[in-house]
Amino acid sequence: MNTIYLPNGIWQYDSNTKLGPRGGFGVVFAGYSEKLGEVAVKEITQEAQREIRIADELLNRDYQYVIPIYDAGQDTESGKNYLVMAKAQKSLQDEIKIMPKFEDHEAVSILLQIVNGLLEVPSLVHRDLKPGNVLFHSGVWKIADFGIAKFIEESTSLQTLRECLTPSYAAPEQWNLEHPTNAVDIYALGCIAFTLLIGTPPFLGTPEELKEQHLYQQPPISKITNSRLQTLVGMMLRKNPITRPSLGRVKNQLEQLIVSGDHNPSSGLQALSLAAAKIAENSSKEEARELSAKSVEERRKTIAREAQEILLQIVDTLFQRIQDHAPNAIVSTSAKTFGSYAPFPNRSIVLGDAELSFDFVRFSTIPTDGFQRSGWDVLTGVIARVSQKTREPYIWSANLWYTNLGKGQEYRWWEVSYMTSPLMRSHPVYEPYAEENISNADLAASPVMAQVQFGSKPKLIDDEYTEAFCDRWAELLAKAVNGQLRFPSHLPID
């Protein structure tokens, strides 16, 4: 037995008894403590210039979904760095070897436990989340090795860290040596989810082949038969970290899957769920490329285009639903270019004397200071409009903004309609309406009492809210076809 002297005590380990294969950051041995009995001792093999520091959030804390860490630091005798933690019964990687493909409900349960672990220490980014770092301890799946990757990164270099990471689960930004955020853990979680459901990670090959695939290729999420899981995994595996869902949102989706159980949705909902999954799959095509923007505005333009690709798939799904119910509806596009920049073409669908259109050009890019007063960071926008062209014409419209609402949250697509303040003497002919002046839209979202106000509360329209968005605008089109589109009974609507 080898004896090591760490900041919080004296520990022993058997160098001949390894607990699992050697990992990128070291090897784990069976250990022992007079006070705690059996433990796991990890020898950090990376050469470092200083002693390992594990954040106070982890050391000797009683977490439910994170493996307990008892001690960490430099052995006073050998100078090597060690981590002492609870000994687990098995790893998720061990379980995958025995049962490569999990049932949907089993996979969802495991994923939810991993998410809970990440949420227990929200201030830390794991950086190397993989099945080998998910351990079964005291009847619960828990996350191990929190903080190790950060230590390696700080004590050596990002290049060294990249060489230590597991290629099958590394996010695109890690391959590009960008500063990691919590989004890298979301991406790794998507890879784990794919592995549990399909039996292999989304990409296979040599490290160089994996790098190319993670950076540029679309993950084959169509292999996942459960459409709701397919949508969720597709969201997590988006190339651009900004467009991935937050941990809280992933947790909510997983909890909804558990509540719904194995009940099959109605055929209509199932069709829509499949369509939403297709959106998630297709949206990754445009963003499956290296993000090499060299300025803030260029990067914003890159993200804006990826966001418009996501919305374009939603609009195409809506149009397909309309044509499924009204085969005589006619879809058309109109492309416009501005110099070298070509935004997505405008989309419209006509049925009788009614038209539903989406203007992708008007707000294809929005400057950084576009919404200064409100603090919203809006990257791009689209105008949605239903036109009733009967003897009693009417237009119902709204803005679709890709924004974080200025709250530091994730960027998503929001539907916002506007109205003129009741205090004003004159009002536009049609309300609610889409605001075509960014300054007015900015004022409406600010605390200032302005002439232009919200005609309805901002509504999410992407991913899990796609169904409600499609239903809402299909109903407006139906009213316009029947000549029933009118001024609402009250404003704001909600």
* 51: containing domain: 1-87
Q: Is residue 16 part of a domain?
A: yes
- Same domain? For 424 and 354 the reply is yes
Q: Compute the distance between CA of residue 128 and CA of residue 146 in angstroms, rounded to an integer.
A: 8
Q: Which 3 state secondary structure label does DSSP give 459? A: strand
Residue whose C-alpha is closest to residue 143's, from 37, 54, 68? 68
pLDDT reported for residue 426:
87
- Same domain? For 157 and 229 the reply is yes
Identify the sign of the CA torsion 173, 178, 183, 188. positive
CA distances from 343 to 3, 304, 312 (A): 65, 10, 11
Paired tokens of 74: 């430099």
- Name the domain boundary from 248, 265, 292: 292
- Same domain? For 212 and 327 the reply is no
Q: Compute the distance between CA of residue 169 and CA of residue 187 in angstroms, rounded to an integer.
A: 8
- Same domain? For 412 and 304 the reply is yes
- Same domain? For 263 and 387 the reply is no
Q: Can you give the pLDDT of all 494 residues of the chain as single tens digits?
A: 899 999 889 999 999 999 887 766 678 999 999 889 999 999 987 654 444 666 567 888 889 999 999 998 889 998 888 989 999 999 999 999 998 899 999 999 999 999 999 999 888 889 889 999 999 999 999 999 876 656 555 554 555 555 567 899 999 999 988 888 899 999 999 999 999 999 999 999 999 999 999 999 999 999 999 988 998 999 999 999 989 999 999 999 999 999 877 544 455 555 656 666 666 666 655 555 444 444 567 778 888 988 999 999 899 999 999 999 999 999 999 866 554 455 688 999 999 999 999 999 999 989 888 999 999 999 999 999 999 998 899 999 999 999 999 877 789 999 999 999 999 988 899 999 999 999 999 999 999 999 999 999 999 999 889 999 999 999 999 999 999 999 999 999 98
pLDDT reported for residue 172:
94
pLDDT reported for residue 263:
43
- Same domain? For 191 and 231 the reply is yes
In which element (H, E) is residue 380 found? strand 378-388
Maximal C-alpha separation, the chain: 92
pLDDT reported for residue 356:
98
- Same domain? For 96 and 17 the reply is no
Q: Is residue 489 part of a domain?
A: no
- Same domain? For 340 and 450 the reply is yes
Kindly report the CATH number assigned to the domain that includes residue 202.
1.10.510.10
Write the single-letter amino acid at 443: L
Look at the chain and report how many structural domains it folds into.
3
- Same domain? For 425 and 336 the reply is yes
Cβ 126 vs Cβ 185: under 8 Å? yes
Q: Is residue 494 part of a domain?
A: no
Paired tokens of 280: 């998630």
- Same domain? For 153 and 254 the reply is yes
Q: Is residue 486 part of a domain?
A: no
R_g of the chain computed on alpha carbons: 26
Q: Is residue 139 part of a domain?
A: yes
- Name the domain boundary from 258, 292, 326: 292
Residue whose C-alpha is closest to residue 137's, from 191, 72, 85? 85
pLDDT reported for residue 440:
97
Cβ 152 vs Cβ 164: under 8 Å? yes
Paired tokens of 43: 């020898």
Q: Compute the distance between CA of residue 41 and CA of residue 484 in angstroms, rounded to an integer.
A: 72
Give all strands (DSSP E) within 154-313, no chain letters.
Answer: none
- Same domain? For 288 and 412 the reply is no
Cβ 83 vs Cβ 25: under 8 Å? no
Q: Is residue 493 part of a domain?
A: no
pLDDT reported for residue 490:
94
- Same domain? For 72 and 132 the reply is no
- Name the domain boundary from 271, 292, 313: 292
